[in-house]
């Protein structure tokens, strides 16, 4: 299956969510939540991520996770991920209970293409007090893609993880998962990265971006947001509308895209110190805000 066919399939089966200029969304991807071991790339940023997501929850944002939320290649069992980042999963539950949670699967959590696996991981949770399993996020759904559709202008914003432009990580994700578990996870100890990952191989990254841009152009410059490469992208109006929210495993920071007041911004959250040496989590705007309507072709 070609890049065109993979993206077309994702678009045709995408979940459609209507929005307007009063809607608020925060987009993060590539959290790669692991088991808090040496190989858990998320562990260093988990407090920053939790604080940021908590602020968005309080401010009434909906959360869209653009794939690779859970690291299910390196980790055999979901419960080890859940136990390591329990506070985050219970915060996701708060978004879920208010219908403000939208989850997309990527190549590292592509098992969630199977609703039975989603149910197994999220339907119930073990209650420490009673020792019984109690409802957690019943009927939770993952999707390959999502389309935000403006109620008044009908502008569409297409969102997918982006591995649709990466034939190896899309078609052969099971083989790649096996190799990561067998080889690359162990090599991380000495600093050797998986060469098939576009996030760690600049040549692959450029190829993935080129294929994605080609598809966007063929779709009449469809406003598109992906993750996967871990490289943030924020085009100017008039340029090809190809955005990327970056990742939550940058060294010492996380990046994401905010949609608020009919505009989009690229933001970074990181830990900084005050002049008195007090640690604090800081939000900064890297690009934008730009009005969404400025990208209508």
Q: Is the pLDDT of residue 86 over 90?
A: yes
77 close to 111: Cβ distance less than 8 angstroms? no
Say how far apart CA 234 and CA 241 lie, in whole Å.
Answer: 8
Q: What is the CATH code of the structural domain delimited by 3-295?
A: 3.60.21
Taking the domains of the chain in order of start, what are their residue ranges? Answer: 3-295
Mean pLDDT in residue range 106-128: 94
- On the question of pLDDT at 196 being above 80, the answer is no
- The region of weakest confidence among 85-89, 95-99, 271-275 is 271-275
Rounded average pLDDT over 26-51 = 93
For the chain, the average pLDDT equals: 91
Which stretch of DSSP H or E encloses residue 210? helix 202-218
Do the Cβ atoms of 81 and 125 come closer than 8 Å? no
pLDDT, mean of residues 111-120: 96
Distance CA(225)–CA(244), nearest Å, equals 5
Higher pLDDT, 40 or 45: 45
| Strand positions, DSSP E, 136-175 | 142-143, 145-150, 156-160
State the average pLDDT over residues 73-91: 93
Structure token pair of residue 262: 């009919």
Is beta strand 101-104 parallel, antiparallel or unpaired with respect to 142-143? Answer: parallel
Instruction: Check residue 190 and give its pLDDT.
Output: 47
User: What percentage of residues in the chain have a pLDDT greater than 70?
Assistant: 92
55 has a pLDDT exceeding 90: yes
Which residues partner with 285 through β-bridges? 267
Q: Using pLDDT thresholds of 50, 70 and 90, give the confidence band for residue 297.
A: confident
Strand partners, 279: 273
Least confidently predicted of 104-118, 164-178, 211-225: 164-178
Tell me the pLDDT band of 192, cut-offs 50, 70 and 90: very low
pLDDT at 167 over 80: no
Over 90: is that where the pLDDT of 82 sits? Answer: yes
Evaluate if residue 230 carries a pLDDT over 70. Answer: yes
Query: What is the structure's pLDDT at 174?
Result: 67
For tokens 């969102």, name the residue: 159
- Range with top average pLDDT, 112-121, 164-173, 179-188: 112-121
């Amino acid at each position: 299956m070609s890049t065109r066919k993979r993206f077309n399939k994702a678009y045709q089966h995408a979940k459609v969510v209507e929005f307007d200029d009063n809607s608020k969304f925060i987009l993060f991807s590539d959290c790669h939540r692991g088991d808090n071991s040496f190989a858990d790339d998320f562990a260093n940023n988990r407090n920053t991520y939790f604080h940021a997501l908590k602020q968005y929850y309080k401010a009434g944002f909906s959360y869209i996770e653009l794939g690779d939320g859970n690291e299910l290649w390196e980790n055999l069992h979901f419960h080890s991920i859940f136990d390591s980042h329990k506070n985050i999963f219970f915060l996701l539950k708060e978004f879920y209970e208010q219908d403000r949670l939208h989850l997309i699967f990527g190549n590292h959590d592509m098992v969630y293409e199977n609703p039975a696996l989603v149910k197994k991981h999220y339907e119930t949770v073990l209650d420490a007090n009673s020792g019984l399993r109690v409802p957690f996020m019943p009927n939770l759904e993952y999707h390959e893609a999502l389309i935000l559709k403006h109620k008044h202008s009908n502008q569409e914003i297409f969102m997918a993880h982006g591995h649709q432009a990466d034939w190896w990580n899309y078609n052969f994700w099971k083989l790649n998962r096996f190799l990561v578990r067998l080889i690359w996870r162990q090599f991380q100890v000495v600093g050797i990265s998986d060469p098939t990952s576009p996030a760690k191989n600049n040549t692959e990254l450029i190829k993935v971006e080129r294929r994605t841009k080609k598809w966007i152009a063929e779709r009449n410059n469809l406003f598109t947001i992906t993750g996967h490469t871990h490289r943030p992208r924020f085009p100017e109006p008039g340029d090809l509308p190809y955005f990327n929210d970056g990742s939550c495993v940058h060294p010492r920071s996380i990046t994401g895209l905010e949609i608020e007041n009919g505009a989009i911004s690229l933001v970074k959250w990181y830990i900084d110190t005050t002049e008195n040496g007090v640690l604090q989590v800081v939000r900064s705007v890297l690009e934008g805000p730009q009005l969404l309507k400025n990208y209508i072709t």
